[in-house]
Structure 1
Amino acid sequence: MTSSTLHLTTPHGSKYLQQLGKHFGHKVPVTFTTTEAEVTLPFGACKMTATEADLSITVLGKSHDLERLERFVGDHLARFAFRENPTLTWQRAA
Structure 2
Amino acid sequence: MPQSRAVVPTPHASRYLQQLCKHWAHRFDTTFTDSDGRIALPLGETRLKASTDALTIDLTAEDAANLSGLRDVVVRHVDRFAFRETLRYEWTEAAPGAREAKEPSQ
Identity %: 38
Runs of 4+ in 1 over 2 A off after TM superposition: none
Figure out how many residues of one structure are paired with residues of the other and give that number.
94
- After superposition, residues 62-81 of structure 1 pair within 5 angstroms as 62=62, 63-81=64-82
| Aligned-residue offset at 1:93 | 1.4
Q: Which runs of 5+ in 1 are unaligned?
A: none
TM-score under structure 1 normalisation?
Answer: 0.94
Q: Does the Cα contact within 8 Å between 1:30 and 1:38 map onto a contact in 2?
A: yes
Residues 9-65 of structure 1: CA distance to partner in whole angstroms, max 9, x if unpaired? 111000000000100112101000000001001121000000111100011002221
- Distance in 1, matches of 2:19 and 2:84, equals 15
Larger radius of gyration: 2
In the alignment, which residue of structure 2 is the partner of 1:87?
88
| Aligned-residue offset at 1:87 | 2.5
TM-score under structure 2 normalisation?
Answer: 0.84
| Aligned-residue offset at 1:6 | 1.1
2:16 is the alignment partner of 1:12:
no
Q: Which runs of 5+ in 2 are unaligned?
A: 96-106
